[in-house]
A and B are shown apart, each in its own frame.
Chain A
Amino acid sequence: MYADTVVEDKLVHKPKFIALLFVLSFVAFVFFNLTDTIFGHFLMPVIGDPATAGIFGRFAVAFVLAVIFTANIVAIGFLPTRYQVIIVWIELIALFLLFFYTFDLSMEFIQRKVWFMISQGVFTTLYVSAISIAIAFVLAMVGAVAKLSNNGFAFAIASFYTSFFRGLPLLMQVYLIYLGLPQLGWVIDAVPAGVTALSLCYGAYMTEIFRAGIESIPRGQWEASRSMGFKFGLTMRRIILPQAVPVIIPPTGNQFIAMLKDSSLVSVIGVWEIMFLARTLGTKEFKHLEMLITASMLYWMLTMVLEAVQSRIERRYRQKAER
């Protein structure tokens, strides 16, 4: 929430807003014409056979749905914030499940395959991403220090590095490392090649994050530290970084989440991670959508765990700052 002290009236209880909401949802429901769906069948007593209900049926269904939709939102508005969050989440998930339900997926097939996707796919994705982010972290630290230094060589190398690896598509880097290095005589396996590409690419992005974080610390901090006789290393470790880290954490967490999903690109060189299995497991029985959706759900769950970890770490640093 904003650190604002002025509390305004609830938006969802302003009459103008409610009216607008109703009109917009009504138009949307008319536009999508839900007469012949499950909603139309519920309203059978009013509109008769959905197939022959015509314009009247279409409007009636849209009207009822718009009323339910608006009432739902106004009702949620009365609840305390915490319950609002929970209920909106549940409703969105229910809508999402309804959407998947319409695909007519084979649950039995998913159940048969999901354990292998976790034991093989999730495991591989996690360790590839974890190793890569650890290396990227080190690269970014070195890169940021080099980019801020007044040493021409260090700056040149670091800026070339960030420019090159941010400028090339990650997929290209995966191919370049996997297919290019053997031309120099160094035959690299698929997993190390993938890890190298991911760490180099994300190291480049994170270099910029770290640099911005360090630069956000006011000049006065440096001056004060130096005037106490601290050397560069000590200033960095004790004064600058402790203040920069809380700034760096949210975007770094973001990068890790992004990497988790970009690691799917290493499936092209035959690493058996989630994406590879999603494309492969469904082949025999031609059930691709099942596996793709399972993979999406697995990625999402992993992301949710990481989001929780990230907010934990953020909270810890905030408490430290408040103490």
Chain B
Amino acid sequence: MKLTRRLMLLAATAALAVTPVVAQAGEALDRIMSDKVLKVATDANWAPQSFLNDNNEMDGFDIDVARELAKRLGVEVEFVTPDWTVITAGRWNGRWDASVGSMTPTAERATVLSFPAIYYFTPAGFAVHADSTAQSKADLNGKTIGACTACTFEFYLQKDLTIDAEGAPPFEYDVTAGEIRSYEDTSGALADLRLGDGVRLHAVIDSIPTLREAINNGYPLRLIGEPAFFEPLAVAIDKGDQELDDKIAEIVGAMHADGTLTALSVKWYGVDYSSTSSATN
């Protein structure tokens, strides 16, 4: 008798544990407000957007935006650092509430994630080794080019990039790579490019701010040609909570309007990337 009761209890607990979590309208926002914590997923390996600073704390443009977002929601912020591919795969199941990780709202991603607000635009461009003879993007046709896996730069090389966000300027695929090399993150691609022109790579495509950061840190690289395309970059949340969506859109809208994003962009990039008009320089 006693044993059966215990077994039933066990079965009930097990059943409870595997009940599917279904995101309902307002559920995520309710959780954030009741826990008083906004959990933000971000990459810890992508200076100057997000990285570990000298005090071994998260720092960077994305981090500042996330902090501001949490502040205006009236909650604390907490950062988690899963793999980029895990973030973009969606179905977060409440592990974290939002991604402030400079994510481009592509059509494909929009099937699993929701993009409430665009907070800035960055130009994507090519870098070559300082010894390279390439002078324009046309010289890169047929060359070996590195990019991070499952990111917009790789999609661009594969000529499979769809940016369906409002305000994104049109672009053309004007480089045909001979071979595309995919890397876990940009640092791997840059480490290979610095070995020399054509040793492992002829060029790397990434966001121009990241490439500039590498050059400022003594990498023997140089930027080449006009920006390949402009990426609108958005806050992402899991699908299914319209209230959180509206709330974030409202806050980011206010941050655009009162110049907070402009100030943060100038702080980290020296240039205002919060709109495309000023980012073209």
Instruction: Specify whether A and B are partners.
Output: yes
The interface on chain A, measured as residues whose beta carbon lies within 8 A of the other chain's beta carbons, has a size of: 29
Q: Decide: B91 and A283 in contact? CB cutoff 8 A.
A: no
Q: Which among B81, B185, B190 is the interface contact of A270 at CB below 8 angstroms?
A: B81
Q: Which among B20, B45, B46, B52 is the interface contact of A185 at CB below 8 angstroms?
A: B20
Q: Decide: A187 and B94 in contact? CB cutoff 8 A.
A: yes
Q: Mark A255-295, 1 if CB is under 8 A from B, else 0.
A: 00000000000001110100011011111111010000000
Count of A-B residue pairs with CB < 8 Å: 76
Whether a CB of chain B sits under 8 angstroms from the CB of A130 is: no
Whether a CB of chain B sits under 8 angstroms from the CB of A96 is: no
Q: Decide: A179 and B45 in contact? CB cutoff 8 A.
A: no
Chain B residues whose C-beta falls within 8 Å of the C-beta of A182 in the assembled complex = 21, 91, 93, 95
Q: Which among A183, A276, A283 is the interface contact of B47 at CB below 8 angstroms?
A: A283
Complex Cα gap A285–B86 (Å)? 26
Chain B residues whose C-beta falls within 8 Å of the C-beta of A281 in the assembled complex = 52, 56
Q: Decide: B191 and A288 in contact? CB cutoff 8 A.
A: yes
- The residue on A at minimum CB distance from B186 is A283
Complex Cα gap A182–B93 (Å)? 7
The interface on chain B, measured as residues whose beta carbon lies within 8 A of the other chain's beta carbons, has a size of: 34
Most buried by B among A116, A120, A182: A182
Whether a CB of chain B sits under 8 angstroms from the CB of A16 is: no
Shortest beta-carbon distance, B88 to chain A, in Å? 12
Chain B residues whose C-beta falls within 8 Å of the C-beta of A272 in the assembled complex = 81
Whether a CB of chain A sits under 8 angstroms from the CB of B258 is: no
Q: Which among B18, B81, B82, B217 is the interface contact of A186 at CB below 8 angstroms?
A: B18
Q: Which among A116, A276, A282 is the interface contact of B56 at CB below 8 angstroms?
A: A116
Q: Decide: A286 and B214 in contact? CB cutoff 8 A.
A: yes
Q: Decide: B83 and A268 in contact? CB cutoff 8 A.
A: yes
Q: Mark A108-122, 1 if CB is under 8 A from B, else 0.
A: 000011001000100
Shortest beta-carbon distance, A89 to chain B, in Å? 32
Given contacts A190-B80, A281-B52, A286-B217, 11 further A-B contacts (CB under 8 A): A113-B56, A182-B21, A268-B83, A270-B82, A276-B81, A279-B45, A280-B52, A283-B45, A283-B46, A283-B51, A286-B214
